[in-house]
Amino acid sequence: MDANFWHQKWERREIGFHQQQANPLLVAHFDKLKLAAGSRVMLPLCGKTRDIAWLLASGFRVAGAELSKIAVEELFDELELEPQIQSAGPLWHYRADNIDLFVGDIFELSADLLGPVDAVYDRAALVALPAEIRQKYAAHLTGLTAVAPQLLVAYEYDQLLAEGPPFSVATDEVCDLYSGNYRLTLLARTEVEGGLKGIVAAVEATWLMEKTG
């Protein structure tokens, strides 16, 4: 799986992963991060998620990284915001009031470009990446955000019965990826209504991750 996979998804409008409303798990559990109003929240591989509109309406600032220019431009259109667009090294920086999105390869995004963030909300990034990339991603995100607390949503299902993405990322792997830097608390396990893609029984595990020490 490479960048072309996701570019083609957006070009072909194969975006069944896109939800029309803010994710219920975000709404139910975001307060566990205990953020002050105006805090800056990072959404990796954000697409044009409606979660961003919810966060902005709730008084937070948003930063995000997304591979697809189509997704980001549609997001700003739906938010009825006119972004300022400028080159940011190997990426493109789209910005408006309280929102900064970086278009391109998230592994090219540096802490200097991103700027400080108070928390990370990862609903679509870790589960979008195949197993051989997830270790690199987790390490990059941890460094990129200075071990900012995270709200993570991960799917769990029998990977032999359905292909990702989204991929199954079970408890043991979440712990392997993050327990060196974070204290992990499982907030909820929620059954996916109708199964994942209507094929296989699945749950969404919602994790709170807080910096150790």
Q: Which amino acid is at 42?
A: M
CA distance 49 to 53: 8
Q: Which amino acid is at 140?
A: H
* 183 in a labelled binding site: no
* 61 in a labelled binding site: no
Report how far apart, in Å, the C-alpha atoms of 95 and of each of 11, 28, 87 are: 23, 28, 11
* 13 in a labelled binding site: no
* 66 in a labelled binding site: yes
- 171-178 and 131-144 are packed helices; what angle lies between their axes, rounded to 10 degrees? 40
CA distance 12 to 4: 12
CA distance 206 to 121: 11
Structure-block tokens of residue 46: 């954000």
- Pick out the residues of the known binding site for S-adenosyl-L-methionine: 10, 45, 66, 123
Residues making up the annotated binding site are: 10, 45, 66, 123
